[in-house]
A and B are shown apart, each in its own frame.
Chain A
């Protein structure tokens, strides 16, 4: 079955630690995205990538980093510079060029800072 796999589903982090969230897709989609969702709020864009080896900052990129070495993979690192990292992180993908805004989401990763 095609889809997007995020791991881990739940993650606890101590302050000062970096953590990496995995996102893998087998939909053959060109574009991939990372969104953050806080309770009772909509999604805010962290980073996105339209093509391998290229990515752009979204609206709230500070304290995060990404890489896109393979079409299928778009990992997100939450660094110690992110002041309030506790949130629900969603990875998504879309087909570029046609209906580019139709996003397919993974199941999400819930990060809690202890």
Chain B
């Protein structure tokens, strides 16, 4: 079992819809979670960090963390074609000096 698993893609949504990206993790020692966006051929860019149970909202993005279920999600509201990218979920542990374990990514396509 991979330490961080993301829902298999690709995911396609129409413009204006909500895109839901999911991630589960196996290491209960993981304390912090991150979502990175990676456009094709480019490097990842951090878009959300979440450290405690519950929701965290930033503009059109909402990250949700449920440590009991070992589940992290990212919701993108009012999806735009510019949101089309691969989204990487990563988990970090405070005991691992900031090392992050990444999932394989979910590719999102937003169709106009």
Contacts and interface: CB of A to CB of B under 8 A. Distances in A.
A29 to B, nearest CB: 10
Interface in A15-49: 31, 33, 35, 40-45, 48
B20 interface: no
B60 interface: no
A43 B102 contact: yes
Interface of B: 4, 32, 34, 36, 42-46, 49, 88, 90, 92, 94, 97-105
A75 interface: no
Given A43-B88, A90-B43, A108-B43, A100 B98 contact: yes
A48 B99 contact: yes
Contact of A102 (B42, B49, B101, B104): B49
Contacts of B46: 102-104
A50 to B, nearest CB: 6
A106 interface: yes
Interface of A: 31, 33, 35, 40-45, 48, 50, 56, 58, 90, 94, 96, 99-108
A96 B99 contact: no
B103 A94 contact: no
Contact of B49 (A41, A48, A99): A99
A30 to B, nearest CB: 9
B2 to A, nearest CB: 9
Contacts of B34: 101-103
